[in-house]
Amino acid sequence: MRAAHDRDPAARGVSSLEILTSWPGVHALLVHRVAHALHEAGVPLAPRSLAYLTRAFTGIEIHPAAQIGEGLFIDHGTGVVIGETARIGDDVTLYQGVTLGGTGFEAGKRHPTVGDNVVVGSGAKLLGPIEIGDGAKIGANSVVITDVPSNATVVGNPGHVVRVDGERPEGADADWIHLPDPVADAIRDLSARILELETRLAAAAGEEPPAQVRPLRPVRGRSPAGG
């Protein structure tokens, strides 16, 4: 409930009782605490039954064996899947549709290890026994299959690091709209370079320069004409 108060804007001004009775992420985590304790005690059937009922009522599936630290906040929660050997640190935030899954049928550690203070955006898939460093941010719909360093920002499919120890987007801790887009940046750079070359060719041939098509935003480090 503390995590919901701190990290969910919809919980501002809402009583703890309302959060306790109405937030599916809180329900799923509380039941998981019980299921995990029963699993660790070797109780048969009951842990998986509790997990099954939680999935049916909340849309959140957490394997009883998954290890979860303090302060996990699951926002909305529908479609969240946390696998058997997943480990989650303290004060982690997961948005709807996040999967901490495996990549095959091998035994042993096959799900991600997520550090402290990590934020995972909607629909992101973290697959395999990878490690996500403390303070990392995973962009919405990213597919991450390799380790992520601490304080890094990852976007794309496959996920790639676009920022490490960089400044957070202005105005919010989870501003998914303004995450860097390296593919779009590369296309803008190429467009500017092509325009520059066409302009030079037209000048050499004594022709009119080509029409200038400006990108949606200025290309980093150069003008639209390539200067």
The amino acid present at 29, given as its one-letter code, is L
Tokens describing residue 197: 């070359």
The contacts of residue 207 (CB under 8 Å, 6+ apart) are none
The mean pLDDT value for 40-60 works out to: 96
> Of 114, 112, 85, 90, which Cα lies nearest the Cα of 29?
90
Distance CA 76, CA 94 (A): 9
pLDDT at 107 over 50: yes
For residue 216, pLDDT over 60 is answered with: no
Contact 123, 97 (CB under 8 A): yes
- Which of the four pLDDT bands, split at 50, 70 and 90, describes residue 224? very low
Planar angle of CA 141, 147, 151, nearest 5 degrees: 80
User: What structural domains and CATH numbers belong to the chain?
Assistant: 2-178 (2.160.10.10), 181-227 (no CATH)
pLDDT per residue over 177-210, tens digit each?
A: 566 677 778 888 898 899 889 888 888 888 887 7
pLDDT of residue 146: 94
Query: What's the whole-model pTM score?
Result: 0.74
Q: What is the pLDDT of residues 12-47, one digit of tens each?
A: 888 999 999 999 999 999 999 999 999 999 999 999
| pLDDT at residue 213, as a whole number | 60
Active site residue 76: yes
Out of 27, 32, 36, 76, the active site residue is 76
